[in-house]
Amino acid sequence: QVQLVESGGGLVQAGGSLRLSCAASRRTFSSYHMGWFRQAPGKEREFVASITWNGGNTYYVDSVKGRFTISRNNAKNTVYLQMNSLKPEDTAVYFCAASLLGAAADQFNSWGQGTQVTVSS
C-alpha cells in the first residue's frame, strides 16, 4: 500500500487560491493514478479531480472545472491540486487518493489523512 500525506490546506478568503500537495511513499508512485476528494461537514465524500499515471488525462467534477487544476511530478512522488477562485462551498477536508486500477472515482483505494480547507465569505 502506498502512504499518502497531504499538506497545504488552510483558511483563505473567497476568491483566493491555495495549492494542496500530496506526497507518496512508494518508489512506484508513477504507476499510480492519483485523485483528490473532499468531504464537507454533514456530507458524503465527493470526487474532485483525478490524473492518470503519466499525467496524460485529467478529470474534474463540474463544480471545479476552470478553477482547479490537478498535476503531478513523478520525480518528486507528489500530486498537486491548484485551487483558484475559491468559494465558501469549497470548504471541506480534502483527501488525496491513489489507485492502480484506474482514474475513475470508484477505483481509488488508498487514502491520505486529509487536510482542511476553509473558505470564508
2-32: pLDDT as tens digits: 999 999 999 999 999 999 999 999 778 999 9
Among 119, 121, 92, residue whose Cα is nearest residue 17: 119
What is the structure's pLDDT at 112?
Answer: 97
Task: Give, in order, the Cα–Cα distances in Å from 96 to each of 13, 14, 15, 120.
Answer: 23, 23, 23, 23
pLDDT at residue 96 tops 80: yes
- For residue 1, the model assigns a pLDDT of 81
**Other CB atoms closer than 10 Å to residue 69's CB: what's the count?**
16
Q: How far apart are CA 12 and CA 101, in angstroms?
A: 34
Q: Are 81 and 49 in contact (CB under 8 A)?
A: yes
Query: What was the pLDDT predicted at 26?
Result: 77
Tens of pLDDT, residue by residue over 41-94, are 999 999 999 999 999 999 999 999 999 999 999 999 999 999 999 999 999 999
Distance CA 116, CA 118 (A): 6
What is the reported pLDDT for 100?
Answer: 95
- pLDDT of 95: 98
Predicted pLDDT at 22: 98
Pairing between β-strand 115-120 and β-strand 10-13 as defined by DSSP bridges: parallel
